[in-house]
Structure 1
Amino acid sequence: MTLPLTGVRVLDLTDGLGESCGRYLADLGAQVTKVEGPGGARSRRAEPVVDGVSIPFALRNANKRGIVVDLDDPAGRDRLRELAAESDILIESHAPGVLSERGVGAAELSALAPSLVCVSVTPFGQTGPYRDWAATEQVLYALSGVLSRSGAPGAEPLLPPAGLVEETVGMHAAWSALLAYYDRIHTGRGQVVDLSAFEALVHGFDPGFGTQGSAAAGRSDDFPRNRPDASNFYPVFPCADGYVRICLLAKRQWRGMFEWLGEPEEFADPKYDTIPARFAAADTLHPLIEALFASRTRDQLVAEGAARGVPVGGVLSLGEVLTTEHFDVAGALADVEIATGMHARVPTGYVSIDGARVGIRTPAPEVGEHDAQPEAKRETPAGSASGTRQSGSRPLDGLRVLDLGVIVFGAELSRQFADYGADVVKVENAKFPDGLRQSKRGAALAASVAWGHRNKRSLGLDLRSPEGGELFRRLVAEADVVLANFKPGTLASMGLSYDELAALNPGIIVSESSAFGSTGPWNNRLGYGPLVRAACGVSALWRYPGNEDLLCDGSTVYPDHIAAHVTAIAVLAALIQRTRTGRGAALEVAQADTALVQLGAQLVTESLRPGTVSAPGNSDPFAAPAGVFACAGDDEWCVVSVRDDDDWVRLCTAIGTPELADVPAFRTRSERIRNRVDVDAVLGEWLQTRSPAAAVAQLQAAGVPAGMMLRLPELLTDPHLAARDAYTETHHALLPKALPTAARVARFSAIADPPLRQAPIAGQHSREICADLLNMTTAEVDRLVAEGILQPPATDPSPIGVAASAAR
């Protein structure tokens, strides 16, 4: 098949952070050329390394071409200028100022090639007080608020698995690049994009001030010290052959669990239909579930849970993931050559298009592999465009998105389009309300709805009725995109499959998403983010070493948010292709595939060296000193990462012990890892007498990656986020106070920040949409309201509407 980004040229100057951006664009068909200096990128040595091959590099640079350009040489800089003039998108991760000092920064290249989209991916962005700080994934976990919610109460906070940060940043970079490129298609003008990895994690991984899902009802808003007791959010129970996790969110799921338990009298009160009540009673409820599960196997519990409507999932080790039949049948894992002569079991990719999985086609290039294969000159100039819009308009203006999505994934996916100009119509049925609308705690509206559904319209419609389905088809005929994340087969069962919708509108793009995809033995499994990451090995690595039953990923809904961004990128790529072909596409993303891809380095290493990958806790297997260290004060922590021997010398000088740099036991990275306990003790003793902020400032001034553990409220006052206006406020008439919310993730030079139109109440725009888009008369609408097919809110001005709403 012709991939959607075929013909798009991308220059990839990333080294480490941001490399997965180019990989995903290459998966989608772009010609991505990796530009390295003499000797190759530093990331070619990124651990884990097996038989001389960096596994992260191999995975994040597959499908790319590779050339060498020496930016310290005038001829090399001229070569980069020539390449930029022939390219559509340039992605780079150099420290701020490095390229500009050589005359090939974003401003210089944009002046030379005005149609070029330049995306800068740096740890903290091009501005702000942390601009020149150094960072690792672990440091970003600490600063972003993720670390403060990970770990057991009273214990040290626990770092999540490696790899999730880089892929999260890479996906935000890919979305930003394609959004700017889509704008260029209509304006002819490129622009500069400034992406801060810090902000991508804060707003995009699992935001504390963003869509949170139903489990938020069991959380506290006071963000106590010593971490929340997250084990009860999505509890894990031992069983006959391992562990299982359950997700009891909806009332019907709890009722299924209640019956499974034999309807114990102490839980017969209807108050236990709510998440907060069950959460408060966990000490009594969970022992009953544990006793029920103890003698059954994982497969038995999953099957019986499915029969009863109770979401249950097994907790799998990496070795079990690699041999799971479902991932093999679904094509999510495959045996692939990732380097010359090296084959491994590899996550294949994020998305399927028109039934074909899009993933690895060629291994990562050798250094300079394509130097002797110059790119052909383009027949059409890179900046060719329709010129139908003025630069600075909203890039997705004129698009209409019909949003059938639910809960966190659905809200986040469609919000990307609503924020940048698309008319997003959330289609919802009062008989089956979105779980987000049920997660309110005392207020008339759930905060997650205000965050997740801003800038959208709402149409109350019973899609399962014949007339409701026909109204939807009429909307599809004039729409651009349909988004859904139901159980596989649901759209087809309602007569709304891609083939049926494409017959009405050949340009329609239909995106269907589910937990485990539409093929394979798990295709009909109930799935939420916590069950997905348990089944994909993420949970097994997100724990303290030696403690298999205390998983520490309970306070997050990962991978919902980032899987939504993965899907948004694929939809936008299909829209880009449609500008050339006029044809739509059928897209599918399984949340499990997102988790597998982002855990790729560990899975591939385990496939090559079985039994060698386990939960590392806070000890970086490839660096020392590195990890989470206690500072002065109550539950105050910071993360420090000494990446190499140069960092070690800088650290020793910074903490006033320069003589330690030459101690034989500490001199080299391998020696420090071997003597980890001693070298960590040196740094730990120094940190215990200092506040996190003071310690981090001193270490960063010396060039050592370090970050204080920030709690969620501290993000709102963090000086760097404040300087970059990372937060704004969203208001809603049904909420008692304004909510802090993301102003943006990336800064665009020619795309405005998203507006903040308040989220609709269910069915708020039903009459408006029927009149404006379907040219229906008031009498027609009134009849459908009376019959419950159209569902305006209780405030509907029509007496018929009021009566119908009251009846519901």
Structure 2
Amino acid sequence: MEGGLMSMPSVGALPLHGVRVLEMVDKAEMCGRYLADLGATVIKLEPPEGSPSRRMGPFHDGVSISFAVRNANKQGLTLDLADTTDRGRFEAMLDTVDLWIESTAPGSLASVGLSIAGLRARHPRLVVLSVTDFGQTGPYRDWVGSPWVHTAMSGCLSRSRIGDQYPLMPPAALPAEAAAVQASFAALVGLWNAMETGMGDHIDFSLLEATGQILDPAMGMAGTASAGADVGAAAATSARQRPVLDMYPVFECSDGFVRVVLLSPRQWRAMRSWLGDPEDLMDDALDAIFTRFKRVDEIRQHISLLFKGKSTAELVQEGQSRGVPCAPVLTLGEVIAAEHYVQRQAIARCEIFTGLDAKIPTGFVEFNGRRLGIRMRTPDVGEHNASLLAELTDGRATGAPVATTGAGGRRPLSGIRVLDLGVIVYGAEIGRLFADLGADVIKVENRAYPDGARVARGGMMNANFASGHRGKRSIGLNLRSDRGKALFTALVAESDLVLSNFKPGTLEALGLGYDTLAQVNPGIVMVTSSAMGSTGPWARWMGYGPLVRCASGLSSLWRYPEGPSAFADGSTVYPDHYAARVMAAAGLAALIARRRTGLGAHVEGAQAEAILVQLSELVALESLQPGAVSAKGNYSDEGAPWGVYPCAGSDEWCVITVRSDEEWARFCDVTGLADLGDEPALRTTAGRLRNRERIDARVGTWTSNLDPRAVQHLLQAAAIPAGAMARVTELEDDPHLSAREYLKKLRQPGFGPLTVQNAPFFSERMDPPRQVPAPEFGEHTREVLTEVLGLAPDEVQRLIEEGAAEEGTERR
């Protein structure tokens, strides 16, 4: 890394060393960046004039910061695919890489003689990842999208708001960056399967579906943060409702804001003690979160009085010491200066583009204690043409070897055994990703310390838990007993991956840290995640998603600009699902490295730092132009009209994002706003941005007389990105999502059919997930101990009687 501020592993020590990727995209560029961070050689293929994404803001001294932060660690190559010679070079390049990532419109490459089917036939070992707005199939296949359109159509926008205010678009590039990380995971699953079978694949990746699965999923694991609400519970209420309850209140103090998250009875009682045990709050019924919701105004009044006049620093220090989960709502300027991130080198100054230095989040994860971050600045257009094209003739580039042979039509992670210690939302989600794709995921549990998601409704099974842990097995072990720990380490010897999101130091205190487990099994990969990281002043904070959002600067941006305290992220579940994809990709990369080295690894991640990487362009901009970054609401400087517009009916909205002068001309034509199209001052993006308010007023008047889906279909027919804001209850009836089987039914014993999300991508050669019920507590204890460890039934019985192993009271 430029400037020497970080100690980076040698290239050969990086997990994806030897993997070569050809990236031909102008969307989801962070996908290739993450693979490059993990050690892959990523070749950025652009047309001779450079990628359109080089011309996207924000800018500093004429440089696109957004392009610079998403294309670090890559090499630059230019080819003109309309040219016969360059098409030949392109095909030769495909012979040297393991993965080709492309984002062209479905079927468009065939017009220059490069159909994906034909290329796959000529390069059968190649994995092709096609990243498109809506996927390769379905009624919307040829529609055009944008991150804002995907957010609206996926149902996420309908849950981002306060009370009855207008729906607020999540800040920055959050939807696109979340989808890009899922694309990285899809790429690595494809590579793993190719290494297992000796054959390549074509992976169909939809940005719409990824946004809905990660940003704030409508279906699936909602977690303790939503009080264990049953999956699909929204369907029991009005289909047109949106959430109005802010479960994570923010309180003003002398120098800013502090958020408090009170989920468990223990946390509530700690807060009550801090308040001085006021008489009117001594009712034991307030231990129940739903009772506290009913008396929220009374409780908040007490906390507001306590916090008034005190600083964020003293409140957070005392709250955390008392066992009250809380965090300061930081601005990006405060994040950049925060001692915690400085000590962890989570943000550092480096050269991100030729001649441009900025402070920037340094990377997603740590690998064996070393951060995998930026090693090379973003390349200039065609910077590495000479060396890359020379490789095509001297035979040096041959790609990473593909290992074994086998047939297609398989669940790609079959044969991998995972010990899953994860809890709540993130913990459920990362293990489920592996289980859905065929891994044997064994959830390790203990009755004395149950997963909070299990007991959120007072029992050991609920629909929320079922959706997050489907497809897993459950074993009960007492890890605080010597015999229970011995059983766990014996399982480690027979496993590939250990997943945990306990507070830092917990496993080490149990004598089950990575160093100990690696002695048992040198090939074990341990993936640990925490809120703030395992080191630094904030490492021991109690952390939930709402607090991580505050401490990373996200909450300060996710608010209505009309009010300094109007934070709109209070009803979302973030970043758990996103962080799970970050760490799943890193864990799979470590397993790929093990094929080469025979050694496992310890992969660590901090959820706050995963968010920081998503905010990279804004962190860099704030470091270069202090004070430039603030909450923008639904304003964007990418174009005009570009926003969330009211439609006919109650609380109906449609997103429109006009990206170019050509789209503007078509927009004016199909909407009947020809007088605007005739104005010379509005024929350029710069001119439209100067007249944004007048354009928005006219567009809003036009949309307010139309159904949002009428606007969506009319504009999409003219190839203009537009999407109606969908509700959760409408997703099952969407013709495109139905055609692509976006949702599936899970049949969990004791419950009716539960609606859950289906595959994170589609593939020619990999089978989709099977919907297998979640386990009861300890349901598979006997099965795992006999099948995996070879213990005799009578020995297992003794272990259960001794309390080293546990099983549920109910057996299916």
Deviation at 1:226, TM superposition (A): 6.0
Q: Is the 8 A contact 2:176 2:211 kept in 1?
A: no
Is 1:426–2:426 an aligned residue pair? no
Residue 451 of structure 1 aligns with an amino acid whose one-letter code is: S
Is 1:627–2:643 an aligned residue pair? yes
Q: Is the 8 A contact 1:151 1:157 kept in 2?
A: yes
Residue 19 of structure 2 aligns with an amino acid whose one-letter code is: V
Deviation at 1:444, TM superposition (A): 6.7
Q: Which residue of 2 aligns with 1:566?
A: 582
Deviation at 1:208, TM superposition (A): 1.0
Q: Secondary structure at the match of 1:337?
A: strand
Q: Which residue of 1 aligns with 2:628?
A: 612
Deviations 1:570-617 (A, max 9, x none): 110111111111100011010011100001111111111111111110
Q: Secondary structure at the match of 2:385?
A: coil
Matches within 5 A, 1:728-807: 728-735=744-751, 737-795=752-810
Evaluate the alpha carbon distance shift between residue 757 and residue 152 of structure 1 in structure 2; reply closer, same or farther with a 3 A threshold: same
Q: Is the 8 A contact 1:408 1:560 kept in 2?
A: yes
Q: Is the 8 A contact 1:445 1:734 kept in 2?
A: no
Residue 312 of structure 1 aligns with an amino acid whose one-letter code is: C
Evaluate the alpha carbon distance shift between residue 548 and residue 225 of structure 1 in structure 2; reply closer, same or farther with a 3 A threshold: farther
Q: Is the 8 A contact 1:226 1:635 kept in 2?
A: no
| 1:685 aligned to which of 701, 706, 712 | 701
Q: Is the 8 A contact 2:239 2:729 kept in 1?
A: no
Is 1:170–2:189 an aligned residue pair? no
Q: Secondary structure at the match of 1:436?
A: coil
Deviation at 1:692, TM superposition (A): 0.2
Q: Secondary structure at the match of 2:733?
A: coil
- Distance in 2 (CA, whole Å) between partners of 1:731 and 1:299 is 48
Deviation at 1:625, TM superposition (A): 1.5
Q: Secondary structure at the match of 1:438?
A: coil
Q: Secondary structure at the match of 1:782?
A: helix
Q: Which residue of 2 aligns with 1:696?
A: 712
Matches within 5 A, 1:16-27: 17-27=27-37
Deviation at 1:488, TM superposition (A): 1.0
Deviations 1:343-378 (A, max 9, x none): 111000101101000011111111010111123666
Q: Which residue of 1 aligns with 2:190?
A: 180
Q: Which residue of 2 aligns with 1:289?
A: 303
- Distance in 2 (CA, whole Å) between partners of 1:318 and 1:223 is 38
Evaluate the alpha carbon distance shift between residue 106 and residue 439 of structure 1 in structure 2; reply closer, same or farther with a 3 A threshold: farther
Matches within 5 A, 1:143-154: 143-154=153-164
Q: CA RMSD in A?
A: 1.7
Matches within 5 A, 1:521-600: 521-600=537-616
- Distance in 2 (CA, whole Å) between partners of 1:438 and 1:303 is 29
Q: Secondary structure at the match of 1:372?
A: helix
Deviation at 1:218, TM superposition (A): 7.8
Deviation at 1:380, TM superposition (A): 8.9
Residue 555 of structure 1 aligns with an amino acid whose one-letter code is: S
Matches within 5 A, 1:348-359: 348-359=362-373
- Distance in 2 (CA, whole Å) between partners of 1:717 and 1:104 is 36
Q: Is the 8 A contact 1:189 1:383 kept in 2?
A: no
Evaluate the alpha carbon distance shift between residue 733 and residue 270 of structure 1 in structure 2; reply closer, same or farther with a 3 A threshold: farther
Evaluate the alpha carbon distance shift between residue 378 and residue 392 of structure 1 in structure 2; reply closer, same or farther with a 3 A threshold: farther
Q: Is the 8 A contact 1:188 1:384 kept in 2?
A: no
Give the aligned length: 793
Q: Which residue of 2 aligns with 1:62?
A: 72
Instruction: Indicate the larger mover: 201-210 or 174-183.
Output: 201-210
Q: Which residue of 1 aligns with 2:38?
A: 28
Q: Is the 8 A contact 1:86 1:378 kept in 2?
A: no
Q: Which residue of 2 aligns with 1:4?
A: 15
Unaligned 5+ runs, structure 1:
798-808
Deviations 1:744-800 (A, max 9, x none): 121111111111110001111111111222222333333332333212001259xxx
Q: Which residue of 2 aligns with 1:271?
A: 285
- Distance in 2 (CA, whole Å) between partners of 1:227 and 1:727 is 21
- Distance in 1 (CA, whole Å) between partners of 2:623 and 2:403 is 49
Matches within 5 A, 1:719-734: 719-734=735-750
| 1:253 aligned to which of 263, 267, 282 | 267
Taking only the aligned residue pairs, the percentage that are identical comes to: 49
Instruction: Indicate the larger mover: 471-480 or 102-111.
Output: 102-111
Q: Is the 8 A contact 1:666 1:679 kept in 2?
A: no
Q: Which residue of 2 aligns with 1:398?
A: 415
Q: Is the 8 A contact 1:115 1:382 kept in 2?
A: no
Residue 7 of structure 1 aligns with an amino acid whose one-letter code is: G
Q: Is the 8 A contact 1:215 1:439 kept in 2?
A: no
Is 1:132–2:135 an aligned residue pair? no
TM-score by length of structure 1 reads 0.96
- Distance in 1 (CA, whole Å) between partners of 2:183 and 2:749 is 34
Q: Secondary structure at the match of 1:402?
A: strand
Matches within 5 A, 1:40-119: 40-119=50-129
Evaluate the alpha carbon distance shift between residue 786 and residue 378 of structure 1 in structure 2; reply closer, same or farther with a 3 A threshold: farther
Residue 712 of structure 1 aligns with an amino acid whose one-letter code is: V
Unaligned 5+ runs, structure 2:
1-8
- Distance in 2 (CA, whole Å) between partners of 1:391 and 1:633 is 49
Deviation at 1:540, TM superposition (A): 0.7
Q: Secondary structure at the match of 2:306?
A: helix
- Distance in 2 (CA, whole Å) between partners of 1:495 and 1:588 is 18
Deviations 1:124-143 (A, max 9, x none): 01111111212111111111
Deviation at 1:224, TM superposition (A): 5.9
Residue 767 of structure 1 aligns with an amino acid whose one-letter code is: R
| 1:673 aligned to which of 657, 665, 689 | 689
Instruction: Indicate the larger mover: 40-49 or 255-264.
Output: 255-264
- Distance in 2 (CA, whole Å) between partners of 1:223 and 1:572 is 41
- Distance in 1 (CA, whole Å) between partners of 2:110 and 2:680 is 40
Deviation at 1:181, TM superposition (A): 0.8
- Distance in 2 (CA, whole Å) between partners of 1:344 and 1:223 is 48
Deviation at 1:438, TM superposition (A): 2.2
Matches within 5 A, 1:376-525: 382=399, 384-440=401-457, 445-525=461-541
Q: Is the 8 A contact 1:321 1:536 kept in 2?
A: yes
Instruction: Indicate the larger mover: 383-392 or 638-647.
Output: 383-392
Deviation at 1:729, TM superposition (A): 0.3
Deviation at 1:246, TM superposition (A): 1.2
Q: Secondary structure at the match of 2:227?
A: helix
Evaluate the alpha carbon distance shift between residue 383 and residue 111 of structure 1 in structure 2; reply closer, same or farther with a 3 A threshold: farther
Evaluate the alpha carbon distance shift between residue 446 and residue 265 of structure 1 in structure 2; reply closer, same or farther with a 3 A threshold: farther
Residue 276 of structure 2 aligns with an amino acid whose one-letter code is: G
Evaluate the alpha carbon distance shift between residue 257 and residue 114 of structure 1 in structure 2; reply closer, same or farther with a 3 A threshold: same
Residue 493 of structure 2 aligns with an amino acid whose one-letter code is: A
Residue 678 of structure 2 aligns with an amino acid whose one-letter code is: D
Is 1:661–2:677 an aligned residue pair? yes
Residue 646 of structure 1 aligns with an amino acid whose one-letter code is: E
Deviation at 1:256, TM superposition (A): 1.1
Instruction: Indicate the larger mover: 291-300 or 685-694.
Output: 291-300
Matches within 5 A, 1:149-160: 149-160=159-170
Deviation at 1:95, TM superposition (A): 1.0
Residue 444 of structure 2 aligns with an amino acid whose one-letter code is: V
TM-score by length of structure 2 reads 0.95
Q: Secondary structure at the match of 2:499?
A: strand
Is 1:334–2:348 an aligned residue pair? yes
Q: Which residue of 2 aligns with 1:367?
A: 381
- Distance in 2 (CA, whole Å) between partners of 1:20 and 1:237 is 35
